[in-house]
Amino acid sequence: MLVKAKGTQQSVAASRLLDGEAVWLGTGNIWVEDVAQAAVFDGADAIAEALAFAKAEEKRQIVVDVYPLDVEITEAGTRPTHLRERLKGIGPTVRRDLGKQARQPAA
Amino acid sequence: MPDTHSPAIRSNQPADAHAAVYRYDEFDKTFIFERVEQFRAQVERRLKGEITEEEFKPIRLMNGLYLQLHAYMLRVAVPYGMLSSTQVRRLARIARVYDKGYGHFTTRQNIQFNWPKLEDVPTILRELAEVDMHAIQTSGNCIRNVTTDQFCGAAADELVDPRVYAEILRQWSTMHPEFTYLPRKFKIAITGSPNDRAAVQVHDIGLIAKKDEVTGRVGFTVYVGGGQGRTPYLAVKARDFVPVEEIIGYLEAILRVYNQLGRRDNIYKARIKITVNEMGADKFIGLIEEEYARLPRQKFYVDPAIVDAIQTHFAPPPWVDLPAISDSFEAAKAADPAFARWTRTNLTEHKTPGYAIATISLKPIGGIPGDAEADQLETVADLADLYSFGEVRVTHEQNLVLAHVRKDDLYPLWKALDAAGLGTANAGLISDIIACPGLDYCALANTRAIPVAQRIAERFADLDRQHDLGELKVKISGCINACGHHHVGHIGILGVDKKGEEFFQILLGGDAGTNAALGEIVGPGFDYDGIIDAVETVVNTFVKLRQPGEIFIQTLARTGHAPFKEALYARA
Ligand code: HEM
Ligand code: SF4
């Protein structure tokens, strides 16, 4: 279930149009596949601006299903606060050989 | 390779020539291929930016393509749960070439691929169309593909072949202009015997075959307004008996009433179950009867000639005369206890002497319920060719069935299944769990469901213990949408979000069979670790309370929920 983002620190998630891969808006307005590298937007204005850019990317056939999510900053990078968003950043927990987790060396 | 008895293999016919799948005529074929090419053009326009996501989304959903947590997901229909070995091999090929080597069978008798790329989907659909398959109508507010009981055409207790009526309903509904835009999606289930094996009372319309004792005529008991999801209802009986010839007219009347009254204003109230229950069953049934009296009945009369024509698509395979008792089968049971154990749970009585219906468990202990690897699919296809006229069935309990196996062949069949990880002797037992994809795949989920199923199965891994417990159906959903049928599990488990943590509620006493019932929540939920202990506590309580010969659901009905609650919530 999508949980409404309400914190002051948020990132922007989406799925890539071509293959449905989960992506997040990184610094410099590029889409990254690793949630740890998701840019963290602080405060309502920054979040709104990031979302506006992401929505425009939707119009440019880059991504679909754009939405904001609550995150925190950790030593390992950006970490979603909600379980759903963390799993989106990993892959199916019942198939560790598939999805992002299979591509990244466990940090 | 074992010697085969299949007459098809000895002749020059393809091995699945007698598989009872519906074969498209030229009109259907043309339509399906046109739809594929239409979708290919739409995908191209989407990728070029000529149509927006808002315009494209309903189109892709109509073609069975969803966006999930990690990727797209393609949901492929398996009409009436019937597949030929050729189709099974094609599914294996699609899994291997365009996906990640496996498919997932669902409770709606379809198969899902979890990782297709958007640009490959038109080609996948084309590959499906080549073997008379498609992904159409598995979404949207239309009449969804009609589900039947998995033993149709084979079971000893069958009165009518439900596939024939499912097919008549498909033809009636597919191109029905009014019914493409119903207030909400609409699901119909048909059981061809008096014993419900298709959970018909939790469908929008459910039909159970019935014989009129006086006239000897065959027809259906019609149930209406059942459903699971966030507001579960058992269907109410609209009519005890509708003769088979009148069934389309009667369903037309139901659909017309619903189409007029269904709440289009609120998606959560739009299902027929809500209409029936807000209005009151008696009043709703009264309106159906009025509408039915008014209909031009001739127009909807099911012509016996059409029934016969469709019946030929589902002609019984060429069974041969066999003695009812197979000496080699009896000898194998006596010699191999593991095989004997499998025969106790995974075989069902066939209507023809010397044959049996075999259930292939897709629930190996610790495995993912409903998942099948491409290699396993190919093994099943080969075994179907060898032993069951090249036909494979998909059950709503996420298993597969070979419906016409000679008793003489059961032992070699089981050995081959077992070697492929498909021989688990657990059909209907505690480890034969239905679980929805949950948060491992599903974008709507609150919690995971698959790993809960896996850990329960592992906790009860000992097959002797499982067999001792007897029939016990555990069903798990990762959110209130109830795709995992938790309302009708003997033990149902519902995942809920509690402050960002996974939490699980237990429901007891649900039943999807002939004595359909909805489970009740026993009390406060449990966390991810606690839920497994809680299930074991429930089971141990049953073992303590049961009388000889009782299965779980019977003990629960006798004792009520109180002793189970006590055991679960007694202070440690
Ligand atoms: C993973 C993607 C899926 C999505 C997005 C999804 C979505 C939904 C939604 C929103 C509902 C509630 C509809 C309503 O009450 O009006 C529902 C119900 C249902 N779904 Fe799914 N589902 C998914 C997967 C599955 C799977 C894998 C199965 C089979 C295992 C399944 C079988 C069902 C069933 C049986 C119901 C309840 C039947 C009823 O409406 O009474 N779904 N689904
Ligand atoms: S029950 Fe919920 S979590 Fe499970 S598949 Fe359905 S929508 Fe997803």
Report the alpha-carbon distance of residue B150 to residue B400 in Å, rounded: 9
Question: What pLDDT shows up at residue A105?
Answer: 57
Q: Is B478 in the pocket of ligand 2 (CB under 6 A)?
A: yes
Q: By mean pLDDT, which of B10-24, B114-128, B538-552 is the weakest? A: B10-24
Give CA separation, B346 vs B197, B361, B399, in Å.
15, 8, 11
Q: How confident is the model at residue B501 (pLDDT cuts 50, 70, 90)?
A: confident
Residue B75 lies in a domain: no
Query: Strands B110-113 and B102-105, how do they pair?
Result: antiparallel
Comparing B16 with B407, the larger pLDDT belongs to B407
pLDDT value at residue A107:
45
* pLDDT of B284 strictly over 70: yes
Whether residue A4 is contained in a domain is answered as no
Distance from CA of B441 to the nearest CA of A (A): 6
% of residues, chain B, pLDDT over 90? 67
Q: Are B331 and B297 part of one and the same domain?
A: no
Closest residue CA from atom 14 of ligand 1? B229
Q: Average pLDDT of chain A?
A: 92
Q: How far apart are alpha carbons B74 and B98 in whole angstroms?
A: 11
pLDDT tens for each residue of B533-550 = 999 999 999 999 999 999
Would B168 be classed as within a structural domain?
yes
B213 burial via Cβ count (<10 Å: 0-12, 13-18, 19+): exposed
pLDDT at B325 exceeding the cut of 90: yes
> Looking at residue B413, which CATH number applies to its domain?
3.90.480.20
- CB-based contact A61 B48, cutoff 8 Å: yes
What's the angle, vertex CA A60, arms to CA A58 and CA A61, rounded to 5? 70
| B482 Cβ inside 6 Å of ligand 2 | yes
Buried b or exposed e, range B422-440, using 16+ CB within 10 angstroms = bbbbbbbbbbbbbbbbbbb
- Which atom of ligand 1 lies at the shortest distance from residue B110's CA? 29
Q: Which residue has the higher pLDDT, B4 or B403?
A: B403
**B308 & B334 share domain:** no
What's the total number of domains in chain A?
1
Q: Among partner residues A58, A81, A82, which is closest to B53 by beta-carbon distance? A: A58
Are B303 and B8 within 8 A, CB to CB? no
Complex confidence, ipTM: 0.93
Q: Indicate the DSSP class of residue B374.
A: H
Mean pLDDT for B162-189 is 76
- Domain co-membership, B479 together with B524: yes
- The atom number, within ligand 1, closest to the CA of B267 reads 16
The DSSP letter of residue B3 is -
Contact B107/B397 with Cβ under 8 angstroms?
yes
What is the predicted pLDDT for the residue at B141? 57
Q: What is the pLDDT of residues A4-26, one digit of tens each?
A: 888 889 999 999 999 999 999 99
Residues B341 and B438 both lie in one domain? no
- Residue A1 in domain: no
pLDDT value for B497: 92
In a shared domain, residues B438 and B484: yes
Q: How buried is residue B131: exposed, middle or buried, by Cβ count under 10 Å (0-12/13-18/19+)?
A: middle
B7 in any annotated domain: no
**Per-residue pLDDT reduced to its tens digit, A32-54:** 999 999 999 999 999 999 999 99
Predicted confidence (pLDDT) at residue B468 exceeds the cutoff of 70: yes
Q: Tell me: pLDDT of B132 over 70.
A: yes
Q: What is the pLDDT of residue B108?
A: 76
The preferred substitution site among B267, B481, B488 for testing ligand 1, maximizing ligand atoms within 8 Å of CB, is: B481
Average per-residue pLDDT for chain B: 90
Domain boundary residue among B270, B293, B313? Answer: B313
- DSSP track, B421-449: T---S-TTSTTS-EE--GGGT-TT-SS--
Whether residues B303 and B158 fall in one domain: yes
Q: Which helix (H) or strand (E) holds B475?
A: strand B474-477
Whether B11 shows a pLDDT value over 80: the answer reads no
Element (H, E) at B196: none
CB B299 within 8 A of CB B232: no
- What Rg value do the Cα atoms of chain A yield, rounded? 13
- Pairs of CB atoms within 8 A across A/B: 78
Total domain count, chain B: 3
Given a cut of 80, is residue B180 above it in pLDDT? no
Minimum CA distance residue for ligand 1 atom 11: B481
Residues B41-92: tens digit of each pLDDT: 999 999 988 998 889 998 998 889 999 999 999 999 887 788 999 999 999 9
pLDDT at residue B3, rounded to an integer: 40
From CA B450, how far away is CA B441, in angstroms rounded? 10
CB neighbours of B74 closer than 8 A, spacing ≥ 6? B64, B65, B66, B112, B113, B116, B121, B124, B135
Average pLDDT for B22-29:
76
* Same domain flag for B305 and B330: no
> Chain B residues with CB-CB distance to A under 8 A?
46-49, 52-53, 67-72, 100, 115, 117-119, 368, 439-441, 443-446, 448, 450-451, 454, 479, 497, 500-502
Grouping H, G, I as helix, E, B as strand and the rest as coil, residue B173 is helix
Residue B170 exposed, middle or buried by CB count within 10 Å (0-12, 13-18, 19+): buried
What's the average model confidence in pLDDT over B24-31?
80
Whether B10 is in a domain gets the answer no
Residues B439 and B366 in one domain: no
Residue B129 lies inside a defined structural domain of this protein: no
Asked if pLDDT for residue B277 goes beyond 90, the answer is no
Average pLDDT over residues B488-494: 97
For the entire predicted model, the pTM comes to 0.89
Query: Which of B259, B288, B313 is a domain's end point?
Result: B313
- Tell me: do B369 and B461 sit in the same domain: no
Domain that includes residue B284, residue range: 154-313
Contact A20 B451 (CB under 8 A): no
Tokens matching residue B147: 């589900």
Q: Determine the distance separating the centroid of ligand 1 and the alpha carbon of B363, expressed in angstroms.
A: 20
CA of A106 to the centre of ligand 2 (A): 28
Q: Which pLDDT does position B144 carry in this prediction? A: 63
- B313, B344, B369: which is the final residue of a domain? B313
Per-residue pLDDT reduced to its tens digit, B161-175: 998 888 888 887 776
- The rounded radius of gyration (Å) of the Cα atoms in chain B is 23
Say how far apart CA B24 and CA B27 lie, in whole Å.
8
Q: What pLDDT score does B302 carry?
A: 84
Q: What are B430's strand-pairing partners?
A: none
Is B557 part of any domain? Answer: yes
Mean pLDDT of B406-410: 98
- In a 13 Å sphere around the CA of B43, the CA atoms on its Cβ side amount to 23
What pLDDT is recorded for position B109? Answer: 78
Residue B30 lies in a domain: no
For residue A36, what are the domain limits?
9-102
Residue A18, min C-alpha distance to chain B (Å): 5
pLDDT-based confidence at B457, cuts 50/70/90? very high
Segment B221-248, tens digit of pLDDT: 999 999 888 889 999 999 999 999 999 9
